Amino acid sequence: MAIPMTAEQLLAALRAEGVRVQEHSGWRTHNRNHVGAWGPVHGVMIHHTVTSGTDASVRICRDGYSTLPGPLCHGVIAKDGVVHLIGYGRTNHAGAGDGDVLRAVIRETSLPSPNEADTDGNARYYGWECVNLGDGKDPWPAAQLGAIERVSAAICRAHGWNQRSVIGHKEWQPGKIDPRGFTMAAMRARIAERLALAATYTVGRGDTLWSIAASKLGDGNRWQEISRLNGMKGTAITPGQTLKIPKK
């Protein structure tokens, strides 16, 4: 359980994780707080828009429909990896879902299959819509998947959650299929790997894996951990290269 971040804290967390952010006018106060609770929050929920085109998708998610007022999420993740912030607070993204799923998210354990809609999810999850038709054919570019990973990791890192706090809409509400085109299990694995990182490091002139391990991890003998984490087959590094650094 956690008190929601402020809008400024969210923005700072996203930028610290390397997310490319575009802020839309009034996003910090555009919400549905007047109709119900926002928080305590327990996790992150990923959706697809069933739309094409960034501008149209952002507009729909910000304004909503006559039968479902906006905002429909906190941000829209475009195919180029840019995250468009459109609302903050309670949003119409999750709807009612399975309370057993929420309890599993809180415990950060394996999810049961959703079979009822007895719990308000709009109050409990950060919601992110990803631009995709959801037909199983529309591609998910690497930049977009990377942005989903970074956004999710940023929120988990801020709240001290692990990757099991990130779920798909289809894992929350019976009958939903989003996100379609990649598996949440694979995405959670990516998020777990990112959360295992303390930071990244840009190689400088004269650096070696041993010297980097000594300065960043306090033990030069941990250079092999850096090598494995970055998928290296040898020890060669070059100035300007970005390396993932494991936690101390």
**Can you read off the two tokens belonging to residue 144?**
């977009």
- Kindly report the backbone phi and psi dihedral angles of residue 215, in degrees, each rounded to the nearest multiple of 5, phi listed first: -80, -35
Percent of the residues in the chain that have a pLDDT greater than 90, as a whole number: 85
**12, exposed or middle or buried, with CB in 10 Å at 0-12, 13-18, 19+?**
middle
Candidate CATH numbers 3.40.50.620, 3.10.350.10, 1.10.1740.10, 3.90.1150.10; the one for domain 197-246: 3.10.350.10
pTM, to two decimals: 0.84
Identify the DSSP state of 41: B
Mean pLDDT of the region 52-60: 98
Residue range 41-50, pLDDT digits in tens: 999 999 999 9
Give the span between the Cα atoms of 35 and 28, in whole angstroms: 17
Mean pLDDT of the region 128-146: 97
CB-CB neighbours of 32 under 10 Å? 20
For the chain, domain boundaries: 7-195, 197-246
For residue 164, what pLDDT is reported? Answer: 98
Question: Is the peptide bond between 246 and the residue preceding it cis, with omega within 30 degrees of 0?
Answer: no
Same fold: 7-195 with 197-246: no
CATH 3.40.80.10 is the classification of domain 7-195: yes
pLDDT grade for 1, boundaries at 50, 70 and 90: low
